[in-house]
Amino acid sequence: MSKIFQNILLSFAMAASVSAWYSQADFSIMNIKIFAVPVFFIVVFGLSLVIAEDVRNSFKKVLWFEKRKDKRPIWQVGIGMIFFFTQIGFVETFARGLMPFDLGGMPLYIVFSFMNAFLLTVIYEEVFYVEEQKAAEQYKFKKLK
């Protein structure tokens, strides 16, 4: 379930990024929308679902995830990045009106995306990260008399 959820979020982030790049293009086919959802986004989202698992696995290989003794910190960073880029992609594709606001020079949608990604990573870890729970079960204490 966790991998499926990660792949869907990663696919959404990839599709939103590509759609945001091409949304300002002069090609009329890029600007066709159905219920405020760009058709180009739907096509790219479908293609991204096919390659999302390979993208995740390639990042694991590049970051030597399987060779690390403590996988939790890099796991948290990876999940946080997925949440962060998904939220940024959503704003860039579907809510461009939120982009001009800033907080002392920093775009406000990036600030909120970062804070939300942190909170969502903590919540996601509580729901899906099972290695910590297995490690905690190994250390059972004897009853003292």
The pLDDT score that the predictor gives to residue 87 is: 92
pTM, entire model: 0.73
On the question of pLDDT at 133 being above 70, the answer is: no
Tokens 């939300």 label which residue? 116
Within-domain flag for 139: no
Tell whether 134 is covered by a domain: no
* 140 within some domain: no
Q: What is the 3-state secondary structure (H, E, C) of 52-118?
A: HHHHHHHHHHHCCHHHCCCCHHHHHHHHHHHHHHHHHHHHHHHCHHHCCCEECCEEHHHHHHHHHHH
DSSP 3-state assignment of 1?
coil
Percent above pLDDT 90 for the chain: 10
- Of 3-17, 110-124, 126-140, the one with minimum mean pLDDT is 126-140
Greatest C-alpha distance within the chain: 79
In eight-state DSSP terms, residue 5 is H
Judge whether 123 lies within some domain. Answer: yes
Domain that includes residue 30, residue range: 2-129
Please report whether residue 13 resides in a domain. yes
The answer as to whether 72 is a domain residue is yes
Specify the pLDDT at position 140. 57
pLDDT digit string, tens, across residues 60-78: 888 787 788 877 777 788 8
Is 120 a domain residue? yes
Count of beta carbons in the 10 Å neighbourhood of residue 132? 11
Within a domain: 71: yes
Model confidence pLDDT, tens digit, residues 33-60: 676 677 788 888 889 999 888 888 888 8
Structural domain count, the chain: 1
